[in-house]
Structures are given as structure tokens and as C-alpha cells.
């Protein structure tokens, strides 16, 4: 069979498949009837046979190309996994995310320890000896922190309405910390550990310093609400990073690459969940935490609700679902 | 790079190299910059609340811009799409949400020590041109295939070959015919002279020989006068 004969014989089927794919991929605007799934599958298998034949017979490149593109497109359409839609999102939030967190509880506890132990140790040290703050941040930064949380500030946590760039910098910096803790896992987990400890120490230093200076009430009222989401998200991202690092160091019976890919896939729900939590944290930080007119009692009450909510969500949600 | 489907056919994947990905990245970066400025202007008019919105959008744009586009229909950010690139899984399937999250958030590691240093080194060292995020998420940035030119030699009379040809030789002749329009006359003559035996012109070259060799290619394609 010559290439032209072959093409003539099967061109009809290829064109039909291409039309159906165009419709499915919405490459062209069509108003025809809904696509018959089984017809696509049949035509796809036929096209696969034709491609195999065309390759075996060394048909000209344009024919092979046409068939390759056709089968590649159809392959994508047929084997794609539908992971979108509200049902998927709901399942993710109701079951997948909290379950994956619990399945990796060991990493989560380790990550929490790496973040909070330095926070407390450095916090206490700086509280006792405030001059130690200078070994963590320089003098002007320390002064600006003090300025930000002083009672006279119109909006807490930001220097002045004009200096919004700094505020933006802090929000983005805090949030990027979480992703750094995750990505650091690629360096056999050392990056994650470093970022967790470093940021824990930084938080501790700032908190200890401001407490010692008497700005404690303003500072804690500011951070306590969004930290329920932000710190937890950092801990979770760090846990995902530690898992990846562990998979690289101890791959078990898999190759290191396989082990890495497997671990990344397994902890993807944790990372996606913590990204959502960070968005929530950013919104709270921008709209709620920085509002100076709210009484502290209200902020603490809401914060308690947030902390209890987040922790019990991660502990109890999705236990009974099948 | 190749991925085998359950139907037993092998899909060719063409990994995109550093330059193509760099251009795509720069374009995406400019697009994001423009969006940020546009939103900043609106935020400036709205004042305090607007600025808060701007900050959240800034964060979302920085981290979720690639994810949203990669999970869309085209599987590529506008920058990648412009340069004919696409993100797929190692097995040629559309990128999954989990993989897209992983590969984009792992950018932080690729960025180190500065300016995507590790990513560049990794992409230059690896045959499949993956950065760390791609390795961990099992994804691949590939060139979208584009159509090869059809064999268009309608003006040339088909001639039967003077000897029987093995399938490989037939394929080589047809491939030469497909490339003919893109070659200079001299080069085409040189190449055709190598295959001159098929039309009984062994040892000769020139336009007439080329014409006859292409005629044989026409015949092999299935055209008959």
C-alpha cells in the first residue's frame, strides 16, 4: 500500500477524530451535538493502529506527523484526569488535606518543634537580654519594628500609610517563608530545617524584644489571629519539605528519583492546603489584624476561635469519611 | 524523550531547551509586571482597602499565576504558549494539579543561589532539560509539535524505479522529496546524485537527474501518471 492510498483510505476517520477533538478541546467554536465518548475512543485506537503501521512502513514524515499529533491530542483527552470542579475541591478540603496531614504526623511534629523551640528559646533570651536582638536584625530594623507596634501607630503592623511598600514586603516575606520551608526539602531536608529554625528564631527575637519594650499587648493582639493560619501553614510546608528530604536520604527500595517523585506527589495536598491557609492568613492580616480600632478582647476571642478551629480541623476533619 | 501509551504506541516528546524557556519566562514576567502596575493604579484610587487587596493579589499573582494557566486548557502560561511550549507529565498527559503546585512552589529552590542559578545548571546538565521542580513533580516542558510540510511535487511526473527498493530506501527518497522545497538547487542535486541509482542514472548528477529521482519519489508516494 502506497502512502497516498493509505492516506486516502483512512483520511475520513482522522478528520472525524480531529473534528471531535477540536470540539472537546474547544479549539474551535462549534454548535454541534455533544461528543460521543465511545466514538472518540474507537477512532483513537484506530489512529494508534494506523500510526504503528505508518511507522513500520516508513511512510513520509508529514503522514507520521499528522498521526502523531492526532494520537497525542486524543491521548491527552482520553487519559486526562478530571481534578477540577467543586466536588473535587470539597473532597480536598473535607478529607484529603487533613488526612494527608495526619498521615504525615511525624513530619508535622518535627517541623513544629523546629519552628517553635527556637521561637521560645530565642524569645526568652532576647526578653532577658534585649541587646541580643542586634545579633538577629540590625538596629534600624529593630527600631522600625518598635515603631510599627507602638501604641501611637494609627494602623498596627505597618509604619505609616505612606510606607505601604514595607508592609507589602512583610506580608509577602512571611508568606514566602512557608514556600521556602517546603522547597528547602530538595536539599536533602537541610534547607527546610534551616528555614524553620531561622524563622522561628526571628519570630522569637522580635516577640521577645517587643515584649521587653512593653509593646507586648499591641504586638500579640496583632499577630495572634493570622498566625493561627500562617504559622500552621509554615509548619505544614516545612513538614512537606522534611518528607521530601527524608525521601531523598532514605529512598528505601525505590531509586532516589522515584522516591523523590513519590514523596512530592504524596505531600502535594499538604502544600496546596497550606497555600490556601496562607491566602486566608494574608486576608486576615491585611483587613482584620491591622485594624487598630478593634478592642484587644475581641481580637483575642476571634484568635482563640481561629486556633481551635484550625487545630481541630487538622485533627478531626475527614476521619469518618470513606 | 518518548512516552509509551497503553495502546502500545510511542509518543514523541520534545523537551524545550533553556533559551526557549528563558524567553517564555521573560514574557510571563513582563505580563505579571503590567498586571501588577494596572492593579496598583486602581488600588491607589481606592486607598487603604485597595492597597490591602493589591497586596493579596500580588501574593496570588506571584505564586498562582503559573499554576492557574498550566491547569487551564492550553497547559501553558501565556509566555510559554507564545513560544510554543507546554507543560506535561513525564508520560505525556496533561499536568495534574498536584504536580503543577509542586513544580511551581519548588521554584524557590530553583531560584537559589540567585537568578534561578540551580535551575539553569540543572537544565543545562540534563538531557530532558528539567529544573529541580520538574524533577520532583515528574513534569516536562515540551515543544508543541507543529506540522511537517506535505510532499508537494505535483508538477513532477511519477517514474517507476528501475530496481526494487527496500522500505528504508523508499522512506529516504520520500523524505528527500519532502525536503526538496527547502533546499537550494545545488544541494538538492548533490543529494539526489547519491540516490541516482533508483532512476538508472548511477554516477551522474544535474537537474535532469534530480528531476527523475524526485519522479521516483512521486511514484513511491503512490502517484501514477
Determine the distance in angstroms separating the CA of B62 from the nearest CA of chain A, rounded to an integer.
9
* Chain centre distance of CA A261: 16
Instruction: Fill in the DSSP letter of residue B94.
Output: B
C-alpha cell, B183: 533546499
Written as one string, the DSSP assignment of A146-172 is: HHHHSTT-SSTTSS-TT-HHHHHHHHH
Residues of chain A positioned with their CB less than 8 A from the CB of B53:
286
Distance CA A20, CA A132 (A): 69
Residues of chain A positioned with their CB less than 8 A from the CB of B165:
none
Inter-residue contact B126 to A257 (CB < 8 Å)? no
Cross-strand bridge partners of residue B86:
B142
- A175 → closest Cβ in B52, B59, B92: B59
The number of beta carbons lying within 10 Å of the beta carbon of residue A47 is 25
Determine the distance in angstroms separating the CA of B190 from the nearest CA of chain A, rounded to an integer.
21
Distance CA A98, CA A83 (A): 18
Give every CB contact of residue A272 below 8 A, 6+ residues apart in sequence.
A92, A97, B97, B98, B101
Determine the distance in angstroms separating the CA of B16 from the nearest CA of chain A, rounded to an integer.
17
Inter-residue contact A108 to A235 (CB < 8 Å)? yes
Distance CA A207, CA B177 (A): 76
Interface pTM, i.e. ipTM: 0.74
Phi/psi for B179 (5° steps) reads -85, -15
Q: Determine the Cα angle at A311 with ends A308 and A316, to 5°.
A: 110
CB atoms A62 and B147 under 8 Å = yes
Give every CB contact of residue B204 below 8 A, 6+ residues apart in sequence.
B193, B196
Q: What is the average pLDDT across B84-105?
A: 87
CB atoms B5 and A71 under 8 Å = yes
Q: What is the average pLDDT across B127-146?
A: 87
Q: Along the 322 residues of chain A, how does pLDDT read in single tens digits?
A: 777 888 888 888 888 888 888 887 766 565 666 777 788 888 888 888 899 888 888 777 778 888 888 888 888 888 876 656 677 788 888 888 999 999 999 999 999 999 999 999 999 998 888 877 777 777 777 777 777 776 555 555 544 444 445 555 666 677 788 888 998 888 888 999 999 999 998 888 888 888 888 877 878 888 888 889 999 999 999 999 999 999 999 998 999 989 999 999 898 899 889 988 888 887 787 777 777 777 888 888 999 999 999 999 999 888 876 5
Inter-residue contact A206 to A145 (CB < 8 Å)? yes
C-alpha cell, B104: 511551581
CB atoms B59 and A84 under 8 Å = no
Distance CA B65, CA B195 (A): 53
Domain ranges of chain A: 3-79, 86-316
pTM value surpassing 0.80: no
Written as one string, the DSSP assignment of B64-89 is: HHHHHHHTSSSSS-HHHHHTTEEEEE
Question: pLDDT digit string (tens) for B168-202?
Answer: 888 888 888 888 888 888 888 888 888 888 877 77
Amino acid at each position: 500500500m502506497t502512502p497516498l492510498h493509505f492516506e486516502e483510505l483512512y483520511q475520513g476517520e482522522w478528520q472525524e477524530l480531529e473534528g471531535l477533538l477540536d470540539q472537546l478541546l474547544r479549539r474551535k467554536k462549534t454548535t454541534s451535538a455533544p461528543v460521543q465518548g465511545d466514538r472518540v475512543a474507537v477512532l483513537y485506537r484506530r489512529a494508534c493502529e494506523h500510526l504503528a503501521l505508518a511507522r513500520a512502513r516508513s511512510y513520509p514524515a508529514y503522514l507520521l506527523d499528522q498521526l502523531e499529533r492526532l494520537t497525542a491530542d486524543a491521548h491527552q483527552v482520553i487519559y486526562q484526569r478530571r481534578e477540577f470542579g467543586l466536588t473535587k475541591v470539597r473532597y480536598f478540603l473535607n478529607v484529603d488535606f487533613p488526612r494527608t496531614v495526619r498521615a504525615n504526623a511525624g513530619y508535622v511534629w518535627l517541623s513544629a518543634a523546629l519552628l517553635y523551640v527556637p521561637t521560645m528559646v530565642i524569645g526568652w533570651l532576647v526578653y532577658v537580654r534585649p541587646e541580643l536582638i542586634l545579633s538577629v536584625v540590625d538596629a534600624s530594623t529593630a527600631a522600625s519594628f518598635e515603631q510599627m507596634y507602638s501604641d501611637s501607630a494609627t494602623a498596627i503592623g505597618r509604619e505609616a500609610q505612606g510606607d505601604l511598600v514595607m508592609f507589602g514586603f512583610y506580608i509577602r516575606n512571611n508568606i514566602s517563608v512557608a514556600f521556602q520551608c517546603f522547597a528547602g526539602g530538595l536539599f536533602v531536608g537541610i534547607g527546610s530545617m534551616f528555614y524553620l529554625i531561622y524563622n522561628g528564631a526571628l519570630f522569637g527575637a522580635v516577640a521577645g524584644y517587643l515584649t521587653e519594650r512593653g509593646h507586648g499587648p499591641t504586638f500579640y493582639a496583632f499577630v495572634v489571629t493570622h498566625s493561627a493560619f500562617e504559622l500552621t501553614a509554615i509548619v505544614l510546608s516545612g513538614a512537606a519539605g522534611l518528607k521530601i528530604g527524608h525521601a531523598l536520604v532514605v529512598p528505601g527500595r525505590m531509586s532516589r528519583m522515584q522516591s523523590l517523585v513519590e514523596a512530592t506527589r504524596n505531600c502535594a495536598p499538604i502544600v496546596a492546603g497550606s497555600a490556601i491557609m496562607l491566602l486566608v492568613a494574608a486576608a486576615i492580616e491585611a483587613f482584620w489584624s491591622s485594624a487598630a480600632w478593634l478592642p484587644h478582647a475581641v481580637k483575642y476571642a476571634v484568635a482563640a476561635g481561629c486556633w481551635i478551629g484550625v487545630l481541630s480541623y487538622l485533627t478531626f476533619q475527614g476521619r469518618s469519611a470513606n | 524523550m518518548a512516552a509509551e501509551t497503553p495502546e502500545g504506541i510511542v509518543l514523541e516528546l520534545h523537551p524545550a531547551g533553556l533559551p526557549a524557556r528563558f524567553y517564555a519566562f521573560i514574557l510571563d514576567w513582563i505580563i505579571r509586571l503590567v498586571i501588577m502596575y494596572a492593579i496598583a493604579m486602581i488600588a491607589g484610587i481606592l486607598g487603604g482597602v485597595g492597597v490591602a487587596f493589591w497586596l493579596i493579589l500580588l501574593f496570588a499573582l506571584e505564586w498562582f499565576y503559573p499554576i492557574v494557566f498550566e491547569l487551564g486548557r492550553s497547559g501553558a502560561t501565556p509566555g510559554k504558549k507564545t513560544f510554543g511550549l507546554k507543560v506535561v507529565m513525564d508520560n505525556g498527559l496533561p499536568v495534574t494539579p498536584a504536580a503543577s503546585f509542586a513544580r511551581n512552589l519548588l521554584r524557590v529552590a530553583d531560584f537559589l543561589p540567585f537568578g534561578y542559578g540551580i535551575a539553569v545548571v540543572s537544565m543545562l546538565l540534563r538531557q530532558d532539560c528539567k529544573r529541580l521542580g520538574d524533577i520532583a513533580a515528574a513534569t516536562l516542558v515540551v515543544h508543541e509539535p507543529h506540522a511537517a510540510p506535505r510532499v508537494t511535487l505535483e508538477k513532477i511526473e511519477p517514474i517507476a524505479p528501475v530496481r526494487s527498493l527496500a522500505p528504508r530506501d523508499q522512506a529516504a527518497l520520500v523524505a528527500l522529496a519532502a525536503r526538496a522545497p527547502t533546499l537550494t538547487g545545488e544541494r538538492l542535486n548533490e543529494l539526489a546524485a547519491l540516490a541516482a541509482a533508483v532512476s538508472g542514472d548511477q554516477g551522474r548528477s544535474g537537474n535532469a537527474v534530480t528531476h527523475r529521482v524526485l519522479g521516483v519519489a512521486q511514484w513511491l508516494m503512490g502517484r501514477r501518471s
